[in-house]
Amino acid sequence: MLKLHDIEKICHGTHADPFSVLGPHGQPDGRVAVRVFLPKARKVQLVDALTGAHLLDMVQRYAAGFFEAVLADRPADGYRIHVAWPDGNQGTLDDPYRFGPVLSDLDIWLLGEGNHLRPYEVLGSIAVTVDGVAGTRFAVWAPNAMQVSVIGDFNIWDGRRHPMRLRRECGVWELFLPNIGYGARYKYQIRAADGHVLPSRADPYALQSEMRPATASVVSALPPLVPASDARKRANALDAPMSIYEVHLGSWQRIADGSNDGHGRWMNWDELADNLVPYAQDMGFTHLELLPISEHPFDGSWGYQPIGLYSPTSRFGDAQGFVRFVARCHAAGIGLLLDWVPAHFPTDAHGLGNFDGTHLYEYADPREGFHNDWNTLIYNLGRTEVCNFLIGNGLYWLERYGVDGLRVDAVASMLYRDYSRKEGEWIPNVHGGRENLETISFLKRMNEVVGVQRPDAVTLAEESTAFPAVSRPTYAGGLGFHYKWNMGWMHDTLAYMARDPVHRKHHHGEMTFGLVYAFSENFVLPISHDEVVHGKGSMLNKMPGDRWQKFANLRAYYGFMFGHPGKKLLFMGCEFGQEREWNHDQSLDWHLLDDPMHHGVQRLLRDLNHLYRNTPALYSQDFVAGGFEWIEHNDAERSVLAFVRHGNQADTCMVIVCNFTPSAHKGYRVGVPFAGTYVERINTDSVHYGGSNVGTPLGTATAQAIGWHGKSHSVLLDLPPLATVMFEWKA
């Protein structure tokens, strides 16, 4: 017997088990009672689902809009609901409460144990057809909520209309809503265990989200699987060339639109494909790396404070536009890496914080769950469901969009419980140590899943400490990343380059120290966005001296970087000597390319990239000690460095010599590994790049049988000022 308090709870939106009241229910006498809640409905009828024939008028049992009809038996073809509204409009609806559960037993099992590799195929909003009726199934993890409802345009954002069913085995609330399709805006209204309604939440698994400041999720198609690619696997291999162009899409290049701020509008995905991809291809970059493109509420976070981890940001169009962008990258032979942020998330009211009235996604104790540096929350990686959410997300980008890799942000902040915390502000691990054991386990698991499920993809760690074996396999005791950013190399070498050349001889080790540990990890040499913001100045303006010397120093540094072991990464604008700091709210200063000096830097980067890609000695043994050999690292007085890069073949090598003083060194003798001729392939002082055009006559040097630098042969070179030269050996 239906009780009045059940009706009242339905009408007030507080019933925790709506399926026990609404929809069809067998009665003791064999009849079937059908109950619906339709606030403000004037008249409600049951009609045959197949023919539309009238079956029975429903009786209003409660003034708020609760209707009931009792049928002799369940209609053979099912039923629908015909509604007349007070404004005279009428319509026929499918009853969501006549449909069975959304989740399968297997899904429940896998979600419950945290081993559902692709939870996005089950949770969130998925357009499906159930019993011949098209609609959308909704599912959200909120195990501690008293009640959860789907709200949206389709029910006037009324949390009473569509309360969900709780699958207690895994803490997921679910509901199939007929006739809801792509483009529908929605959120979840969650009532906490104490009964109060929380701020409405965006769907953690939403495949598309509204443009800020709006915060709703949007029903969207799940992108089709992109097959794994042997060609992409080869392009991402440790012995392949990798020169990465790091890009913030909103400020790479904007389109004038007459806006008041004069900064123009963002390009959409197709415009970026038409402009950014050919540019990167022409410049010779092998990969693009995008600052985070998951939906984020605050432009000033550059995407590093995401909420919609499964939603490509709507700033550049819909998710299908991103599908096309990735395809265009691959068609041009460009790999695509995404910055991925499992380290933290913002506190915005529609996000993951305190999601179901409890600390569901984040640690409860702020000593574990809050980043003081960024005012963000920290994922509780001790919860299997949270790990499942994040690992599934990484796999989603790799499989459903076909991206080539994930660069994991702020790994150091994840690995250490005392990261940026004073004594007493952090909680030791179970062994009393500072390492975050849950994070270590999570990162290993994530890298193992990627390795098995998407072997053509790579993962890269931004990790700034000496944590061991970051880029070593998990079976060998490592974290399992393919690559690690070499933050130490970046800090040391930039500190050196910022010094007046007269003082560099006293800091020579800043340029050589990186080779002490260069082969302990698979390193990427990063000149990233972090080096050109927050008062650090542009790359050009880090360099000392007058204008000519600034450009010469910058060119010499880029030459050194491309000769040094390790993959390369350069932030946008650095390739042409952007003069001001990067500003995420406006375009790069492309007009600077009208200046020959800026154009010269761009030409150099293009030539360095193409030489690098076509010269195995510069990349094939990046992570093998035998691929590098010092010739001269002790000439601090003249600030000269000389070294050899060896390829996989014993008869391939490149000799790189750097002069970091503004004085030319004529007749500088350099020991070389082989007899024969050495042909100049790059001279960063070339007039072609804006230099003074000093160099070895005819750009060639023949080895003489004069022992030098511990070698049986040597060459005489004229070293240009503030420059790097590269010579390829020819037998």
d(CA 78, CA 365): 51
- Alpha-carbon distance of 562 to 609, in angstroms, equals 8
Query: 323 — phi, psi (to 5°)?
Result: -55, -45
CA angle (65, 71, 73) in 5-degree steps: 140
Q: Which residues contact 497 (CB under 8 A, 6 or more apart)?
A: 542, 543, 553, 557, 660
User: Helices 487-497 and 547-563 sit at what angle, rounded to 10 degrees?
Assistant: 150
DSSP bridge pairs for 167:
172
Annotated catalytic residue 728: no
| Cβ within 8 Å of residue 650, ≥6 positions away | none
Q: How many residues does the chain have?
A: 731
**CA of 582: how far to CAs of 253, 547, 548, 550, in Å?**
12, 20, 22, 18
d(CA 371, CA 521): 28
Q: Which residues pair with 569 in a beta bridge?
A: 244, 526
CA distances for 297 relative to 214, 246, 302, 305, 730, angstroms: 9, 22, 10, 8, 56
Is the Cβ–Cβ distance between 586 and 251 less than 8 Å?
A: yes
Measure the CA–CA gap between 491 and 484, rounded to whole angstroms.
15
How far apart CA 689 and CA 265 sit, in angstroms, is: 32
Residue from 68, 462, 521, 622 carrying the catalytic annotation: 462
The answer for residues whose C-beta is within 8 angstroms of residue 173's C-beta and 6 or more apart is 139, 140, 141, 142, 145, 148, 164, 165, 166, 167, 188
Name the residue type at position 414: M
Cβ burial 106-144 (10 Å sphere, 16+ → b, else e): ebbebbbebebebbbebbbbbbeeeeebebbbbbbbbee
Those residues with Cβ within 8 angstroms of residue 455's Cβ, 6 or more apart along the chain or in another chain: 228, 233
462 an active-site residue? yes
Which of 84, 90, 89, 76 has the alpha carbon at shortest distance from 48?
A: 76
Cβ atoms of residues 230 and 456 within 8 Å: yes
Q: One of 68, 203, 362, 409 is an active-site residue; which one?
A: 409
Give the rounded distance of the alpha carbon of 37 from its chain centre.
Answer: 43
- Four-residue CA torsion sign, 313, 317, 322, 323: positive
Hey, what amino acid is at 707? G
Reading the block at residue 232, the tokens are: 């992409």
Query: Residue written as tokens 């691990």?
Result: 429
Q: Answer yes or no: are the C-beta atoms of 288 and 329 closer than 8 Å.
A: yes
Note whether 705 and 666 are within 8 A (CB).
Answer: no
- The amino acid sitting at 31 is R
Q: CA 72: distance to chain centroid?
A: 57
Structure tokens at 307: 């909420």
Do 395 and 117 contact (CB within 8 A), yes or no? yes
Say how far apart CA 370 and CA 368 lie, in whole Å.
6
CB 713 within 8 A of CB 671: yes
Question: Is the previous residue joined to 75 through a cis bond, with omega within 30 degrees of 0?
Answer: no
Amino acid type, 505: K
User: Which residues are catalytically annotated?
Assistant: 409, 462
